[in-house]
Structure 1
């Protein structure tokens, strides 16, 4: 039973790959730098990656990396799932994002969710909240660094139930090797924190975040533009921050702890590992 992991170098995918391998499951990493090369923009690479695969963990690839924008990746993911079904794949665990079930079908991740649900494969959908690791890599770190350690976001005093990427990966592994077919899980941490509370926790760690200030959307756009980010990437992030400000990312849901049979890790534990 070979399990294919796409996004194998990403925040979650690398942990899924490592946890599966540690448990003794045959795995295959899907990335451009893997021994069997895989590229979402080159369908000719998909067949070799799928050969002999029974199960897949996949994430809709990001079309924005801050400096460029690639469209149509949702449609390519759907085509990949069709090829996987034709190749004999039986099970797919798909990771999207918290609240995606309420998104319109024009949103690529929601379109992929619906497409997967209409295949003949067994499927599980994981919808995690923001990761702890967004504070140590990615846009939140970049914005805090640009602000000399002060994170300035248009989110007000709203809370976020952050979750550890390693806990998300553990949920994915549980779904892959167990029987959780036709189930959807909202994955959050055990507590919801404001960004001011987050900054208070990280201030004495190696994480470069020492404070938080509320900003306007216009101020965020100006800062992100100075960083050279693509305008579509900035617009996407602004939409995500607007969702936070609305309270959409505040709920604490027991799905992750129920799935794992243990509590999820708290941000204070994550930060402690980064403390000198």
Structure 2
């Protein structure tokens, strides 16, 4: 694209804030949306303008739709059926200045108009792209390394119980960082050529929770105390998440996805991050060393 203005929907989320940081280091005009519309905390981000946006309140959409954005990074609302509000927004945006849409999806969900979560949105973008109406991409990252130190259910069980709970058994995951996802998104938002494809994004190595020299052992090394993995059934995991306040249907979906991991759904890898960004993705050990204070106990 010869000229570019970027709109980040979900600009303060796990990936959105990393993408904002990367764009703040460029001269690309950028609009960072959040429900509050608060200004970015990135230093020297004169090119980044905050706007308020809420998927559940269409009266907030106008600022985003009138921003002049040519490329939009889409993070959907926290509901299982994301298509109705996202389709409405996409249709309105493409009638204006928006030409390219980059969807943050996930490795479990391919393009499926009858599927759950982002799968239906992915299918809709692909349909529009195949018709030549938009440029598009669907980012399908695997599980985030950040889940272990930013997601409180995992972080607190490590801090308070020295235990990671999952229903994954010895299933392996090519854990990725949100920094690597954001760097991939930046490339697809700004490159001259239309991406028009899906991109499975994986980290550099396959790690289970409890095999030798895997996640629990790495956490043991960096925290200096023994961290163990406790394998649960999918129902036990869903019950645990629901008791912590997670909606029941979402908790059950999380349990089902862990079962898929146990059965090998994430036992795969590729070099897509390297191809998009020009560098290898970050390893879990390196990230864990950097953020190890997140798992510190309050004991003297």
Scaled by the length of structure 2, the TM-score of the pair is: 0.83
Evaluate the alpha carbon distance shift between residue 104 and residue 111 of structure 1 in structure 2; reply closer, same or farther with a 3 A threshold. Answer: closer
Q: What does residue 195 of structure 2 align with?
A: 181
**For structure 1, which segment, 113-122 or 161-170, has the greater mean C-alpha deviation from structure 2 after superposition?**
113-122
Q: Contact (CA 8 Å) 1:141, 1:209: kept in 2 or not?
A: no
Match of 1:221 in 2: 238
Give 1:124 shift.
Answer: 1.3
CA RMSD between the two structures: 2.2
Corresponding pairs, count: 269
Distance verdict in 2 for CA 1:5–1:257, change over 3 Å: same
Paired with 1:41 and 1:122, the residues of 2 have a C-alpha distance of: 26
- Is 1:128–1:163's contact at 8 Å kept on the other side of the alignment? yes
Alignment partner of 1:42 is 2:57 = yes
| Deviation, structure 1 residue 96 | 0.2
Alignment match, 1:273: 290
**Relative contact order higher in (CA < 8 Å, ≥ 6 apart):** 1
1:19 corresponding residue in structure 2: 22
Matched, 1:237 2:254: yes
C-alpha distance in 1, partners of 2:95/2:109?
A: 27
Task: Answer whether contact 2:113 2:124 (CA < 8 A) is retained.
Answer: no
Unaligned segments of structure 2, at least 5 residues: 38-49, 294-300
Equivalent residue, structure 2, for 1:131: 144
In the alignment, what sits opposite 1:192?
206
Counterpart selection for 1:3 from 1, 6, 13:
6
Aligned counterparts of 2:267 and 2:141: Cα–Cα separation in 1: 12
Match of 2:75 in 1: 59
For the 8 Å contact 1:202–1:271, the answer to whether it is kept is: yes
Q: Give, in whole Å, the separation in 2 of the partners of 1:90 and 1:183.
A: 15
User: Could you report, residue by residue, the CA deviation over 1:51-73 in whole angstroms, capped at 9, with x for unpaired residues?
Assistant: 1111111122222xxxxxxx643
Match of 1:151 among 142, 150, 164: 164
Q: Supply the distance in 2 between the matched residues of 1:62 and 1:137 (Cα, whole angstroms).
A: 17
Unaligned runs of 5+ in 1: 64-70
Given candidates 106, 118, 126, the residue that maps to 2:127 is 118
Query: Considering only CA atoms, is the larger Rg found in Structure 1 or Structure 2?
Result: 2
Q: Select the residue among 160, 184, 187 that pairs with 1:171.
A: 184
**Per the alignment, do residues 184 and 106 of structure 1 end up closer, same or farther by CA in structure 2, a change over 3 Å counting?**
closer
Conservation of the 8 A alpha-carbon contact between 2:239 and 2:251 = no
State the 1:228 CA deviation: 3.0
Whole-Å separation in 2 of the counterparts to 1:11 and 1:164? 10
State the distance in 1 between where 2:233 and 2:217 align.
22
In 2, the alpha carbon distance for the partners of 1:223 and 1:243 equals: 18
**What is the SS of the residue equivalent to 2:222?**
coil
- From the superposition, tell whether residues 231 and 208 of structure 1 become closer, same or farther in structure 2 (CA, over 3 Å): farther
1 CA distance for matches of 2:224 and 2:76? Answer: 28
User: Deviation per CA, 1:54-97, whole angstroms, max 9, x where unpaired?
Assistant: 1111122222xxxxxxx643210111111110112011111100
Counterparts of 2:36 and 2:226, CA distance in 1: 32
Q: Distance in 2 between matches of 1:163 and 1:206?
A: 20
Q: Distance in 2 between matches of 1:86 and 1:266?
A: 41
- Specify whether residues 241 and 21 from structure 1 end up closer, same or farther in structure 2 by C-alpha distance, changes over 3 A only: same
Cα pair 1:40 1:73 within 8 Å, conserved:
no
